[in-house]
């Protein structure tokens, strides 16, 4: 498809299990972002990729959270030993990016809703 694709759309897991969330950005978009949306909260920045490198991972809440991007395309967000407070919608976005400028237009996926029981 032409948009940002995220999978799974819904994930229910037990506390302590690991989960992987996948993001397939728009073809040609070099920048990729992960955000988290919790009930009643705004969108919380987690990590940003430019190509395969992550210049800014300042938003990752703990060392249980990690992300990688391969081939300048697909990204995976991994949460280890999930906790109930990890329950949220995880949103991925991509954008065209070039040095020295920003477009401001992030293209978002529909998100992965994670529920930790």
Partner 1 sequence: AQKVTQAQTEISVVEKEDVTLDCVYETRDTTYYLFWYKQPPSGELVFLIRRNSFDEQNEISGRYSWNFQKSTSSFNFTITASQVVDSAVYFCALSEDSNTDKLIFGTGTRLQVFP
Q: How far is the CB of 26 from partner 1 (least distance, A)?
A: 12
33 touches partner 1 (CB under 8 A): yes
95 binds partner 1 (CB under 8 A): yes
Query: Which one of residues 7, 78, 102, 115 is an interface residue with partner 1 (CB under 8 A)?
Result: 102
What distance in Å separates the CA atoms of residue 67 and residue 75, rounded to the nearest whole number? 7
Considering only residues 90, 101, 114, 117, which one is a binding residue for partner 1 as defined by CB under 8 A? 101
Q: Is 10 in the site for partner 1 (CB under 8 A)?
A: no
Q: How far apart are CA 32 and CA 49, in angstroms?
A: 5
Residues that bind partner 1 (CB under 8 A): 3, 31, 33, 35, 40-45, 48, 50, 55-56, 89, 91, 93, 95, 97, 99-111
């Amino acid at each position: 498809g032409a948009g940002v694709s995220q999978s799974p759309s819904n994930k229910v897991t037990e506390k302590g299990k690991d989960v992987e969330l996948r993001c397939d950005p728009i073809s040609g978009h070099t920048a990729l972002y992960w955000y988290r949306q919790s009930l009643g909260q705004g969108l919380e920045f987690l990590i940003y990729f430019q190509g395969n490198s992550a210049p800014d991972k300042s938003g990752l809440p703990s060392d249980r959270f990690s992300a990688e991007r391969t081939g300048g395309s697909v990204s995976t967000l991994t949460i280890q030993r999930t906790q109930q407070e990890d329950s949220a919608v995880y949103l991925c976005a991509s954008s065209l990016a070039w040095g020295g400028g920003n477009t401001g237009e992030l293209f978002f996926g529909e998100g992965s809703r994670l529920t930790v029981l």
